[in-house]
Structure 1
Amino acid sequence: MGREFIDIFEDWAKTYDESVGGNNLEYREVFENYESILNAVAENSNGVVLEFGVGTGNLSTKLLQAGHQVVGIEPSKSMRDVASKKLPNLKLLEGDFLSFPELPHQVDTITSTYAFHHLTDVEKETAIQRYFDILPIGGKIVFGDTMFKSEEVKEAFIQNAKDKGYNNLAEDLAREYYPTIEFLRNIFIKFNFDVRFKQMNDFVWLVTAIKSVSAKTN
């Protein structure tokens, strides 16, 4: 459930905002167009938003500015502390993509940025199936995350990072569970979501999945 990366999240809390601002050369391309990615997720969201992987609260800020009611889920205490200082009025709960408190009301959109890849492939499928059950017909999943057109492309990115001496980035790309677009598309289709992908930079794609009107509910 991504909890195996909790130590990394704790460390990232100290420097994350500097990195997304372009101050970390090794990750600069990963966070290229960062503000546009956050804005795109916020603009494509509707109604009450459940945000997973709040991190330091940057997407939450955009969602609140857009007038959404937001419930944030974050496993890292250090990340929650940073986000709470930025957004003292944000409803922020401890949890992760698969384990989180019962929600008190209807959720219209589920969002995340730079986080869904921490789930294994099996966990990704389990999560999307669960979100199908949470969302109403027409409800949305809007993710901005690193993914690749193919495994071969992924391997090429890892080698390119090594060639540049970006060893931390190369290790991240090899260690974490970055999916292919085809893999994610097939899961969303399996669970009756209409899905589209838009490339935001060399690494990150915007995924917008809408629960189909033809979806069968129990």
Structure 2
Amino acid sequence: MGKEFLEIFEQWAESYDDSLTNDIEYEEVFCHYDHILNNVAKRSTGHVVEFGPGTGNLTLQLIKKGFKVTAIEPSAAMRKIAKEKIGARAQLIEGDFLEFKLDFIPNTFVSTYAFHHLTDQEKEEAIKQYSNFLPIGGKIVFADTMFVTKEAYDEAIKVATEKGQQHLAEDLQREYYTTIPFLTEILEKNGFSAHFEKMNDFVWIMEGEKIDERGK
């Protein structure tokens, strides 16, 4: 998953949880954070595979709801912190959105605040892989920053710059944020329905349910 960002994940691991509530620049991005995690968890079903668990906050929510969880994280520093939180209650392995090994059939793929580390081409490759794994009725439930249009994305950068939110503006330009129409297209092309729900000014939940075998 965006291996070019791995060094950032390693540096951010120790301060990530604190930044959720104490970083004013990202206050709007993490607004309703617990509500977002709960929404992803409640839309999940069966054996859940989580990409980019980071420090394990969604993983804990999934465990509390009784799901069997396999969490796939590329950052060793993040995995260490997540392991301290979840112990033996979930499987935590090295890997990313595109490079992972599963010896079971998952029911749901989930992720929060991470899919934007993939380019649009990589996002499409990932969705195609998940279609190959999931049975009919299987789901993808991702919460991430995304935009209704390219113009809305450009406006978000402009507003962040005008507010003096330098780090947020830089992140928006450095990472690979995309649009809801594009995500809808790649979901439907690979046999999924597509539903989006706005969580805050930046974050939407993307929910795709596999309805046929297109894309295989």
TM range (shorter): over 0.9
Q: Is the counterpart of residue 18 in structure 1 residue 18 in structure 2? A: yes
Unmatched runs of 5 consecutive residues or more in structure 2: none
Deviations 1:157-203 (A, max 9, x none): 11111111111100000010001000100100111101100000000
Amino acid at match of 1:215: E
Equivalence for 2:57? 58
Q: Tell me by how many angstroms 1:215 deviates.
A: 2.5
Q: How does 1:151-162 map to 2 (within 5 A)?
A: 151-162=150-161
Is the contact made by 2:189 and 2:214 (CA closer than 8 Å) also made in structure 1?
no
Equivalence for 1:48? 47
Is the contact made by 2:190 and 2:215 (CA closer than 8 Å) also made in structure 1?
no
CA distance in 2 between counterparts of 1:6 and 1:216 reads 33
Is the contact made by 2:190 and 2:214 (CA closer than 8 Å) also made in structure 1?
no
Q: Is the counterpart of residue 7 in structure 1 residue 2 in structure 2? A: no
Amino acid at match of 2:163: K
What is the percentage of aligned positions where both structures have the same residue?
53
Q: Is the counterpart of residue 143 in structure 1 residue 142 in structure 2? A: yes
RMSD over aligned CA atoms reads 1.1
| Secondary structure of 1:193's aligned partner | coil
Q: Tell me by how many angstroms 1:217 deviates.
A: 8.1
CA distance in 2 between counterparts of 1:163 and 1:52 reads 33
Runs of 4 or more off by more than 3 Å in structure 1? none
Unmatched runs of 5 consecutive residues or more in structure 1: none
Q: Tell me by how many angstroms 1:25 deviates.
A: 0.1
CA distance in 2 between counterparts of 1:84 and 1:144 reads 22
CA distance in 2 between counterparts of 1:15 and 1:130 reads 32
Is the contact made by 2:148 and 2:179 (CA closer than 8 Å) also made in structure 1?
yes
Q: How does 1:178-193 map to 2 (within 5 A)?
A: 178-193=177-192
Amino acid at match of 1:157: A
Deviations 1:18-45 (A, max 9, x none): 122x210000100000000000000000
| Secondary structure of 1:215's aligned partner | coil
| Secondary structure of 1:98's aligned partner | coil
Aligned length: 215
Q: Tell me by how many angstroms 1:144 deviates.
A: 0.4
Equivalence for 2:117? 118
Q: Tell me by how many angstroms 1:216 deviates.
A: 4.8
CA distance in 2 between counterparts of 1:138 and 1:173 reads 33
| Secondary structure of 1:78's aligned partner | helix
Amino acid at match of 2:94: E
Q: Is the counterpart of residue 194 in structure 1 residue 193 in structure 2? A: yes
Equivalence for 2:131? 132
Structure-2 change in CA distance of 1:217 and 1:155 (3 Å): closer
Equivalence for 1:32? 31
Structure-2 change in CA distance of 1:217 and 1:98 (3 Å): closer
Deviations 1:141-164 (A, max 9, x none): 000000011111111111111111
Equivalence for 1:208? 207
CA distance in 1 between counterparts of 2:66 and 2:26 reads 31
